[in-house]
Amino acid sequence: MSSAVKTIGILTSGGDAPGMNAAIRAVARTAWGLGINVKGIYRGYKGILDEEIFEMDHHFTRNIITKGGTALLTARCLEFKEEEYQKKAADILKDHGIDGLVVVGGDGSFRGAQAIARQGINTVAMPGTIDLDIACTEYTIGFDTAVNTAMEAIDKIRDTASSHDRCSIIEVMGRDAGYIALWCGLACGAENILIPERFDGNRPKLVYQLINEIDSQKSSSKKHHMIVNAEGIGHSYGMAKDIEAATGVETRATILGYMQRGGSPTAKDRVYATYMGSLCVDLLAAGATNRVVGFRNGKFVDDDIEDALSMPKKDIDEYELEMARRLGRR
């Protein structure tokens, strides 16, 4: 069967995520298998406008599946939200013979993909972000690695916190989404999990509740107390100070930060990225455009980008939160 596209460009955009390299590898190798030429684009949409476009060869895709980050580098490009630059980008892609594009990124990047599709370049996107905050998919590439990386770090903090009978606040990534915090909190047996989805903006009230809990547990034999806090709530150092002052329990805060975005991807991230990358190319070869692939109800799926972006974000499962609360109470 002949392919609907002759040359596929691939870019990674927005925050990097472990597993993006597996996606790049899968896209390129699937395309080559179908007789499609592959061009790499460095630094996302910025790289199109700067014409950082190169002929990808087999060497580029070797030994990257194990690596974190993205071999294509990534960037944010605010001007790309303007139609003038989207037109310019499509012209540049056409000049380079690119008639199909794969975008790996979050939902901001999907909007960019939609814009390129509107300019006549067949475009398919796939979800790459550690935050797991994309409505159309139950899985985003990078989440599993980020959670495992944070979990290992939190386990280490627990060792020292319990040795000193301390309270620890560990801040994990997730500016708008609490999935990393929820999973780390559950996996590490945290007493409290603080997520932006359940934060009303009243920090003194939140700290007051934590102080009451810590005070009420003082008589228990377990002295240390672990709080996993999401970046979207933040203020971990201030909270630690307030808790220590009010309870007398030594309290330390650790902000894990960007270590969560790096590192060798887990098997899950590699395999999901491989599957999704391969699917993107099959869709382009079949003539599809303006699609985004995802994973729902146990299946890899694809949706129109417009539909995907208008899906309501699934709220964090209340049962999961209640379960975490019950298990956190001793």
Min CB(174)–ligand F6P separation in Å? 5
Q: Which of 76, 88, 198, 252 binds ligand ADP (CB under 6 A)?
A: 76
Torsion, Cα 247 252 253 254, to 10 degrees, reads -160
| Residue among 53 and 211 whose Cβ is closer to ligand ADP | 53
Min CB(311)–ligand ADP separation in Å? 15
Relative to beta strand 7-12, strand 100-105 is: parallel
The H or E element that residue 304 is part of is: strand 299-304
Sheet holding 37-41, edge to edge: 53-55, 37-41, 7-12, 100-105, 122-127, 291-296, 299-304
Relative to beta strand 192-194, strand 37-41 is: unpaired
Residue 174 binds to ligand F6P (criterion: CB under 6 A) = yes
Could you tell which of ligand F6P, ligand ADP, none binds residue 1, using a CB distance below 5 to 8 A set by kind? none
In the complex, residue closest to ligand ADP by CB: 108
Say which residues have a Cβ less than 8 Å from residue 5's Cβ, sequence separation at least 6.
36, 99, 100, 122, 284, 285
Q: Which of 144, 231, 242, 302 binds ligand F6P (CB under 6 A)?
A: 231
Helix runs in 39-140, H state only: 44-49, 83-95, 107-118
Q: Which of 58, 81, 175, 222 binds ligand ADP (CB under 6 A)?
A: 81
Residue 261 binds to ligand F6P (criterion: CB under 6 A) = yes
Residue 175 binds to ligand F6P (criterion: CB under 6 A) = yes
SS3 210: helix
- Which residue out of 16, 99, 107, 131 is catalytically annotated? 131
Residue 328 binds to ligand ADP (criterion: CB under 6 A) = no
255 bridge partner residues:
171
Helix runs in 217-315, H state only: 236-247, 267-285, 305-310
Residue 105 binds to ligand ADP (criterion: CB under 6 A) = yes
Q: For residues 73-132, which are near ligand F6P according to CB under 6 A? A: 129-131
Residue 70 binds to ligand F6P (criterion: CB under 6 A) = no
Using alpha carbons, select from 287, 265, 258, 186 the residue that is nearest to residue 228: 186
Sheet holding 251-255, edge to edge: 192-194, 225-230, 167-172, 251-255
Q: Is 200 a catalytic residue?
A: no
Q: For residues 116-145, which are near ligand ADP according to CB under 6 A? A: 129
The sign of the dihedral angle between the CA atoms of 10, 258, 106, 186 is: positive
Residue 14 binds to ligand ADP (criterion: CB under 6 A) = yes
Could you tell which of ligand F6P, ligand ADP, none binds residue 107, using a CB distance below 5 to 8 A set by kind? ligand ADP
Q: For residues 131-150, which are near ligand F6P according to CB under 6 A? A: 131
Q: For residues 21-60, which are near ligand F6P according to CB under 6 A? A: none
Could you tell me the CA-to-CA distances from 99 to 52, 147, 177 in Å, in that order? Answer: 17, 37, 35
Could you tell which of ligand F6P, ligand ADP, none binds residue 266, using a CB distance below 5 to 8 A set by kind? none
Site residues for ligand ADP per CB under 6 A: 13-15, 45, 76-78, 80-81, 105-109, 111-112, 115, 129
Site residues for ligand F6P per CB under 6 A: 15, 129-131, 173-175, 231, 261
| Residues with a known catalytic role | 131
